Amino acid sequence: MNDRNALWGDLLRRGNSGDRAAYARFLTETLPVLRNIARARMAGGTAEEVEDVVQEALMAIHAKRHTWREGEPVTPWLYAIARYKCADAARRRRARGGGSGAEVPIEDLAEVLPDEALGEVTAARDLTRLLQRLDPRAAEIVRALGVEGESAAEVGARHGMTEGAVRVAYHRAMRQLKALAGEAGAHAAEGDPPDATMARDRTGHRTAGHKTTGQERDDQEAVTTVGRRR
Amino acid sequence: MKTEDLISALAADPAAPRPPRVETRLPGFLGLGVLVTALAFALVLGPRPDLAAALARPVVLAKTLLPLLLAALALPLVLRDARPGARYGLPGALIWAVPLAVAGLFLLAFLTELPGDRLRLFLGHSIPVCLPAITLLSLPMLAGLLVALRRGAPVRPARCGALAGLVAAGLATAIYSTFCIEDSPLFYAVWYSAGIMIATGLGALAGRQLLRW
């Protein structure tokens, strides 16, 4: 443990004073530990949820790296941030009303999901609507990188941002979009009269207290798909 | 986006010119808060005419010094609370001496005052001034602390806000005590503490909203 503290402390110290390679190594070396914490704390969470929390923890570490004091052990600092982000995610998950049954294997939804072509149209419409709720620059970055397929360098040049800053902004915007899509799905679910298909699906495959609908999955899928296309 | 891509993006993010830390921002913002509070105090309340003579009595001096000590001990705690994984250390243990001393003073006064005087001293005549004054006077300093603390990374935002409230309330109470002429611990040990608790609670509520990250 002391070796780890010494090594990570040294890497983060060098990273904080501008050594990018050391900083990248620090993040990479801590990644498995962050994953373990997230897995333990998000018991019942899907792999995707765990990875989301890991990414949030990484961004938090990045944003708050100046709160670590050189000379102090780095692991308590690191773990505290990871735990904080896990608690945050767990709270959000509870607020959404999702339990451990919030995620369903996609095959189970085959019957209720609209077919691909229709999904694309809905996705495009929903994406436009969701983008309007982001701040204009973030929306522009998502459009340029995710939809138009421009490179981060091109977008950065246009906005006077570094390539790294564009990527971080893009990543942040994608997370926000995902959250918005989830919200929209939940609202839609409340308004929808439960039709026969959905009812059968609920009783067949879902646990009680679960609010995710096919539409929400669809929205999330759509956004993720667009995100991966760059 | 894959996590590995995120890491390379974060590492490529140029080392920002060192962001000012909580410790560097705090004196300025807290000082500003103290200034506003002192100004409001001077304009609306002002010190009691016999302040110098009154402070010569230990039991009166205590009602100014104890809240000051509370603020001085809560300040390092709030700074530590804004750093993930930091321990409270010595000030975290010492701060309990303040409520202990207050309880001791209360008990002593209770035993030494005549039974017929106790209720009169306990109720005093200025509860409706004391509670709102301590709360209001602590707000400018609480605001200053919260602004500075937004740079930090408190893993328990409500607790960090409460500690900020404790610092602000301690300072506000010390200032208010120079106006207040209720010199019995039967009064101030209870009602000052109540005012401090209100301000601390406000700090917790504000912290929960403002110090999340």
Least confident among A118-122, B151-155, B183-187: A118-122
Of A134 and B79, more confident: B79
Q: CA-nearest residue of chain A to B87?
A: A76
Burial group, residue B49, by CB count within 10 angstroms (0-12, 13-18, 19+): exposed
Q: Do B15 and A17 touch (CB under 8 A)?
A: yes
CB B37 within 8 A of CB B141: yes
pLDDT of residue A98: 53
Q: In whole angstroms, give the CA distance from residue A52 to residue A224.
A: 12
Closest Cα to residue A24, out of A32, A33, A12? Answer: A12
Q: What angle do CA A212, A213, A217 make, to 5 degrees?
A: 85
Give the pair of three-digit tokens for residue B12. 């490529």
Mutation site, A16, A48, A64, A225, interface B, largest B CB count within 10 A: A64
Of A72, A165, A171, the CB nearest to B6: A171
pLDDT of residue A216: 43
pLDDT on residue B58: 94
Cβ contact (<8 Å) for A171 and B12?
no
| Alpha-carbon gap: A134 to the closest alpha carbon of chain B (Å) | 18
- B155 to A51: CB separation less than 8 angstroms, yes or no: no
Q: Among partner residues B11, B15, B212, which is closest to A24 by beta-carbon distance?
A: B11
The pLDDT assigned to B135 comes to 97
pLDDT band at B168 (very low <50, low <70, confident <90, very high): very high
For residue A66, give the nearest of B19, B155, B212 by CB distance. B19
Mean pLDDT of B143-152: 95
Q: Which pLDDT does position A196 carry in this prediction?
A: 39
**Contact flag B13-A165 (C-beta cutoff 8 Å):** yes
CA neighbor of A105 nearest in space, from A177, A160, A48, A187: A48
Give the per-residue pLDDT at B202: 97
What value does the mean pLDDT take over residues B73-87? 94
The whole-number pLDDT of residue A187 equals: 58
ipTM: 0.84
Give the one of B10, B15, B84 whose C-beta lies nearest to A67's C-beta: B84
Q: Which two tokens stand for residue A27?
A: 């993040």
Per-residue pLDDT tens, chain A, 230 aa: give them.
568 888 899 888 888 888 888 888 999 999 999 998 988 888 777 888 888 889 889 989 988 888 988 888 899 999 999 999 999 888 888 887 655 444 555 555 554 544 544 445 555 666 777 777 888 888 888 878 777 777 777 888 888 887 778 888 888 887 777 777 766 655 555 444 444 344 344 434 434 444 444 444 444 444 443 333 33
Ordered by start, the domain boundaries in chain B are 36-210
Instruction: Identify the closest residue of chain A to B16 by CA–CA distance.
Output: A18
Candidate from A127-136, B19-28, B40-49, B175-184 with smallest mean pLDDT:
A127-136
Burial B22-46 (b: 16+ CB within 10 A, else e): beebbeebbebbbebbeebbeeebe
Q: How many helices (H) and strands (E) does chain A have?
A: 10, 0
Type of residue found at A189: A
Residue whose C-alpha is closest to residue A31's, from A8, A14, A15, A48: A8
In order of their start, the domains of chain A are 2-96 (1.10.1740.10), 118-228 (no CATH)
CA dihedral B189, B40, B141, B29 (to 10 degrees): -150
3-class state of residue A18 by DSSP: coil
B2, B5, B7: best mutation site toward chain A, by most A Cβ within 10 Å?
B7
- Give A51→chain B minimum CA distance, Å: 8
